[in-house]
Amino acid sequence: MCPDFLYGSFLKVLHNIGVENPEIKLRFEQPKNEQFGDFATSVALILAKELKLNPRQVAKEIVDRLQFDQNLVEKVSIDGPGFINIKLTNLFFATELERMFKEGEYYGRSTKGKGKKVNVEYVSANPTGLLHLGHGRNACIGDSIANLFAWLGYDVTREYYFNNAGRQMHNLARSIFARYRQLLGDDDYPFPEDGYHGDYIKEIAKEVVDKFGAHYFDESEENMDFFKKYGENWCFGKIRETLSKLKIHHDVFYNEDSLYSEGKIDEVVNLLRSKELIYEKDGAIWFALTKLGLQEDRVIIKSTGEPTYRLPDIAYHREKFLRGFDLIVDVLGSDHIATVPDVLAGLGALGFDTSRVKVVFHQFVTLMENGVQVKMSKRSGRSYTLDELISEVGADVVRFFFLMRSVSTHLDFDLALAREQSEKNPVFYLQYAHARICSIFDTAKERGIEFVDNASTNCLNSLTEIQLIKLQRRFPEVIEISAEKFEPQILADYLYDLATAFHVFYHNCRIIGSEEPILSARFKLARVTQRILRNGLNILGVSAPNRM
């Protein structure tokens, strides 16, 4: 964020006065208060101790040695306890606008992650039901994180861990079968105790009745397999349909089944055995986690012969490592927190660098309306599915609302606010800024007004204009920070600020009707804002309409 020339001059001075590791100590920030200038550094305060000098004195030593291009720096001052504040000239910002404008659609992209492979796994809901709100938050977070890394030049794989093995699928089959029998008049047919109670099970059963009649009436193994497969396809179809409404698509659906069929599970067991990390007790196979510093040993293969989740999870993540990913991101709900240490310990024991695994935990979603928690959908009378929420408030609103809070905090989803198609709704505020800009360009075109690319921007001098440029300059940095912290919310907040700065600019400065060179300079200001809003919203998965 800090211009290179500024950073360079300071670094040179710090070197000259014999500071050790100045790169680490030199940091710039943008002061909250305008009166302190455009950039500030507290480096003098940090150095004061090691130099055993008064901070203001240190600041003076530094400032006296600084050399700048006078066209770019307006003022350097020492304030407060020893902050060095720098005010840059309007020419500097005009040049910056020019630079951002010339970068065009690529402004904000970087090559930082070039050659690096990142895997982002998200959603990964089992095909036993419909997506609920928590899945929705998971999906939006994962997708936006993937988008952020793509912007940084990483080779991104969006992955869904597809678990269609194990007891849950039997459960699904038996649940559908029970409803099927009941529909066919066998009213007393018992519903499985731990079956899936949702109404969608009845829907599936009804579909089977409509299509095949009583063809699958017998409680045979083949028929169970049929219901399992039918239910899986039905659920997974719905899941993909819902995700697609949110513009979420995965590159890889990694099937848990393949871990078994390709012998990956056995490989892991053998590897752990060779490291003497597993043993047998009570007919089950245990993972000796206490040897790895954890609290308790855990079962990885039940006495029935089925593995617990830990084993396939370790095998799956081992595969991710073997597939050559430099960074492995898992997006999980906070209810999975307890499962991660075991899996990481297993991977560590297998010799993998677990610092490459980043698990993003998100907290729960609570649907609120007028201060009261909403548990059931008014329309269906059942608990809200993600799909219902989307059809009620729209995909853009759902995506933005799920992303506008930081990942680690509980999310209160304000249904009344989300429904509101007005200025109160932050999504519309952002989209409106974009539509307004488009409208300016449309109007200019209609009236035959053209602007010139090579006109100078050095005529912009109002506070509002400079303010807008300052925010535009931050875009690349914001993308980077959002990705590093795995927090799309940082980008959402930034876009909101940018929209505000634009609305203020729009209010204070006219574009159409201004004389050259102001006309063209302001056009550029609007163009750069438009690109950032569009690209930024795109990363968040929110559309940027040309008209509203």
Partner RNA sequence: GCGCCACUAGCUCAGUUGGAUAGAGCAUCAGCCUUCUAAGCUGAGGGUCACAGGUUCGAGUCCUGUGUGGCGCGCCA
Binders of RNA among 529-548, rule CB under 7 A?
A: 546-548
DSSP symbol at 12: H
> DSSP letters along 28-74, please?
-B--SSGGG-SEEE-HHHHHHHHHTS-HHHHHHHHHHH----TTTEE
* Closest CB 215 distance from RNA, rounded Å: 31
Q: Does 184 bind RNA (CB under 7 A)?
A: no
Q: Does 392 bind RNA (CB under 7 A)?
A: no
Mutual angle of helices 426-446 and 488-508, in 10-degree steps: 50
Alpha carbon dihedral 449, 450, 451, 452, in 10-degree steps, equals -150
* Closest CB 308 distance from RNA, rounded Å: 4
Query: Which segment (107-115, 372-380, 388-396, 489-497) binds RNA by CB under 7 A?
Result: 489-497
- State CA 462 to chain mean position distance: 35
Going 84 to 27 to 473 to 72, the CA torsion angle's sign is positive
The binder of RNA chosen from 126, 385, 457, 529 (CB under 7 A): 126
Among residues 144, 261, 115, 129, the alpha carbon closest in space to that of 197 is found at 129
Query: Which segment (42-50, 102-110, 238-246, 268-276) binds RNA by CB under 7 A?
Result: 42-50
The binder of RNA chosen from 103, 267, 326, 412 (CB under 7 A): 412
* Closest CB 297 distance from RNA, rounded Å: 8
Q: Which is nearer to RNA, 143 or 342 (CB)?
A: 342
* Closest CB 186 distance from RNA, rounded Å: 28
* Closest CB 355 distance from RNA, rounded Å: 16
Residues between 231 and 290 with contacts to RNA, criterion CB under 7 A: 281-284
Q: Do strands 365-369 and 411-414 pair parallel, antiparallel, or not at all (unpaired)?
A: parallel
In this structure, are residues 399 and 245 in contact, taking their beta carbons and an 8 Å threshold? no
Q: Which is nearer to RNA, 157 or 530 (CB)?
A: 530
SS3 category, 450: coil
The binder of RNA chosen from 354, 500, 538, 543 (CB under 7 A): 500
Token duo for residue 332: 């999980």
Residues between 157 and 176 with contacts to RNA, criterion CB under 7 A: 163, 166-168
Q: Does 429 bind RNA (CB under 7 A)?
A: yes
Amino acid at 371: G
Query: Which segment (96-104, 129-137, 381-389, 407-415) binds RNA by CB under 7 A?
Result: 407-415
Q: Does 489 bind RNA (CB under 7 A)?
A: yes
Q: Does 193 bind RNA (CB under 7 A)?
A: no
Q: Cβ contacts of residue 339 below 8 Å, gap of 6+?
A: 309, 310, 313
Query: Which segment (92-100, 179-187, 223-231, 481-489) binds RNA by CB under 7 A?
Result: 481-489
Peptide bond into 517 cis (omega under 30): yes
Residues in binding contact with RNA, number by CB under 7 A: 93
Q: Does 11 bind RNA (CB under 7 A)?
A: no
Q: Which is nearer to RNA, 408 or 461 (CB)?
A: 408
Q: Which is nearer to RNA, 50 or 219 (CB)?
A: 50
Residues between 60 and 99 with contacts to RNA, criterion CB under 7 A: 79-81, 83, 85
* Closest CB 195 distance from RNA, rounded Å: 14
Token duo for residue 38: 């455009």
Q: Does 438 bind RNA (CB under 7 A)?
A: yes
Q: Does 516 bind RNA (CB under 7 A)?
A: no
Amino acid at 258: S
Q: What are phi and psi of 485, to 5 degrees?
A: -95, 0
What is the rounded CA–CA span in Å between residue 468 and residue 466?
5
Mutual angle of helices 133-151 and 488-508, in 10-degree steps: 70
DSSP symbol at 335: G
Q: Which is nearer to RNA, 214 or 444 (CB)?
A: 444
Q: Which is nearer to RNA, 183 or 299 (CB)?
A: 299
The binder of RNA chosen from 225, 335, 453, 516 (CB under 7 A): 335
**Using alpha carbons only, what angle is made at residue 531 by residues 530 and 535, rounded to the nearest 5 degrees?**
120
Among residues 265, 304, 259, 263, the alpha carbon closest in space to that of 282 is found at 304
Q: Does 496 bind RNA (CB under 7 A)?
A: yes
